[in-house]
Amino acid sequence: MIKWRCRICGYIHAGASPPDICPVCGGTANDFKIMEDFFPQTSKKEIQRIIVIGNGAAGMEAARTIRSQNDTIEILVLTEESFPFYSRIHLSTFIGDESRVEDITIFPEPWYVEQNILVKLGKKISTISPRRKLVTDQTGQEYQYEKLIIATGASPFLPDIPGVTKNGVLVLRNLKDALKIRETVKTHQRAVVVGGGILGIEAASSLNRLGIDTTIVEMADHLMPLQLNIRAAEVLQKILQDSGLTIICKTRVTELTGNSKLRGINLHTGKSLSTDLALFSTGIIPNIKLAREAGIKTGRGIWVNEKMETTVPHIYAAGDVAECNDTLHGIWPAAVDQGIIAGTNALGFSQNYSGNMPLHILKVAGLEMTAVGQKSKMHPNDQVIEYLNHEHAQYVTLIHNSHILKGAIVLGVPGIGFRLEKLIKKQVPIAPIISELERSNWDILKKYRP
Ligand SMILES: Cc1cc2nc3c(=O)[nH]c(=O)nc-3n(C[C@H](O)[C@H](O)[C@H](O)COP(=O)(O)OP(=O)(O)OC[C@H]3O[C@@H](n4cnc5c(N)ncnc54)[C@H](O)[C@@H]3O)c2cc1C
C-alpha cells in the first residue's frame, strides 16, 4: 500500500494511486506526492520524548512526521481542544450544512493508537519552564520534555468596539465555536458578519444558505482587500448579492447595542442594523502568551528561524503561532510544512523551511475563486493580462515578469487556479502560451505541460 500526501493540506491517502480529488482541500491527483518524498535521509541523534502543544495542522503534522521517522520515540500531544484533529478549513461550511463531526475529523481515535501517539485532549498548558524542561497544564500537572514543539495556533481578533462582549456576538475558530453557531442560529432570522475577508464571506454564505438574512460589513473599499483588486471584488460582490447576501463596504462598526443581549449594530455612517447575531471575522492573533512568559522571543508571533527553532534551545514553534522571516502565514499549507520541519529538526535532523506562497481559495455561491502570489504589479517590469466578462461573472488577472508568472486572480473560470499556482511556484515560463492567454484561451492552461 502506498501512502500519498496532499502537498496542499497534508491529507494522507493510502492506495495504489492518489485520489482524483483531495477530500480535505479539493486539490487534484497531481497535488499528491508519495510520503517518503517528504522526509530527509540523514542521521539523527537519539531522543526519547517529544512534547507537542496543540493538535491542529502544525502540531499533528509534526507528530506524524516524528513517528514516520522513528518507531519508538515517545510522542505526547497536549491540547486544549476537546476533539481529535479535524479540518479547521471545513468549519465555515460545517456551520451551514448537516455534516457530522466525524465527517470533518482527519484522524479519528484509532489512528493515534495505531501510530502510538498519545494525545491528551482538554489539557490547556499554562506554563513552560525551559530551565526544568517541563510544561504544566491548568490543573498543575507537569510533563517533562526533551524537545518541545509549540503549535498553539491563533485566536480570533476582536476589535475593541463598545458592546463587543454582548450575548449574540460570536467568532469562528474551532469546532466548539462552530457547534455553538449551529445551535444559536436555529433561533435567529438575521445575522451580521463583520469582516469581508475570505472567512467572513464563507461564513456569511453558510448562514445565507440556512435562510438567515445575512449582511456583511467590510471596512475596506471592497471585499477580500488582501487578496483581490477592485475589479475582481466587484465580480465577487455581484455574485454574492445575487445569492441573497447584503454587502456594505467602506463602513466601520462603531458600537454594538442592546443590554446584555445584542440588539443592533451602529455604523460610522450613522446607519444602524437591527440584529441579535453578529459573527466577527476580523482577523487572528497568534497565541504567543505561553511562549512570551517562558522567555521565548516573540513579535507578532513566536520568532523562529528557518529550522523552526525558537530563541530558546530545544523549543520549536510551527503554524499560525510562528513568525518566520517577519511573516505570519496563517494558512493551512504553511502550518503543515512548518510542522514537518519542526518535527524533523526536533529529531536531530536538519531541514530548512523555504516559505509558502500566499494561496487563497474560495468556493461559495457556485463560484470558484483562486488568488495566488502577487495581486497587482509590484515591479516596473511586471506585465498584466486582464480579462473581465460581467455577463458570465468571470475575471482573470495574470501578473508576469519576463514571462514568469508572479501572481494570479481567477474568478468564475473553474479548473485553472491550481494550474496557475503550479506555474507560479515552479517558475515555469509562459512564453509558449502567452498569445493564447492574451486571447483569453484559458483552456490552454489545462493542456500546457512544459
Ligand atoms: C473557519 C476557518 C476556515 C479556514 N479556511 C482556510 C482555508 O480555506 N485555507 C487555508 O489555507 N487556511 C484556512 N484557515 C486557516 C487554517 O485553518 C490555519 O492556518 C491552520 O489551521 C493553522 O494550524 P495550526 O496548527 O498552526 O493552528 P490551529 O489549527 O489553530 O491549532 C492550534 C491548537 O493549539 C491548541 N492550543 C492553543 N493554546 C493552547 C494551550 N495553551 N494549551 C494547549 N493547547 C493549546 C488549540 O486548541 C488548537 O487545537 C481557516 C481557518 C478557519 C478558522
Pocket test for ligand 1, best of 87, 89, 205, 364 (most atoms within 8 A of CB): 89
Give the position, in ligand 1's atom list, of the atom nearest the Cα of 178.
1
Does the C-beta of 53 come closer than 6 Å to ligand 1? yes
393-448 pLDDT, tens digit each: 999 999 999 999 999 999 999 989 889 998 998 899 999 999 999 999 999 998 88
Does the C-beta of 247 come closer than 6 Å to ligand 1? no
Q: Does residue 275 carry a pLDDT above 50? A: yes
* Residue ID of nearest Cα to ligand 1 atom 33: 54
Coil, strand or helix at 284? strand
Coil, strand or helix at 316? strand
Place of cell 481515535: 109
Virtual torsion, Cα 102, 104, 109, 113, nearest 10 deg: 140
In the reported structure, the alpha carbon of residue 272 is separated from the centroid of ligand 1 by a whole-number distance in angstroms of 33
What is the distance between the alpha carbons of residues 78 and 53, in angstroms, rounded to a whole number?
5
In the reported structure, the alpha carbon of residue 202 is separated from the centroid of ligand 1 by a whole-number distance in angstroms of 16
298-349 pLDDT, tens digit each: 999 999 999 999 999 999 999 999 999 999 999 999 999 999 999 999 999 9
Distant-in-sequence, close-in-space partners of 181: CB < 8 Å, separation ≥ 6: 95, 170, 172, 279
CA 448 to chain centroid, in Å, comes to: 29
What is the structure's pLDDT at 45?
59
Pocket test for ligand 1, best of 79, 93, 180 (most atoms within 8 A of CB): 79
Does the C-beta of 245 come closer than 6 Å to ligand 1? no
209-262 pLDDT, tens digit each: 999 999 999 999 999 999 999 999 999 999 999 999 999 999 999 999 999 999
Domains for the chain: give ranges and CATH numbers.
Answer: 1-36 (2.20.28.10), 44-155+284-346 (3.50.50.60), 169-280 (3.50.50.60), 366-447 (3.30.390.30)
What is the structure's pLDDT at 1?
67
In the reported structure, the alpha carbon of residue 54 is separated from the centroid of ligand 1 by a whole-number distance in angstroms of 9
Does the C-beta of 58 come closer than 6 Å to ligand 1? yes
Q: How confident is the model at residue 22 (pLDDT cuts 50, 70, 90)?
A: confident
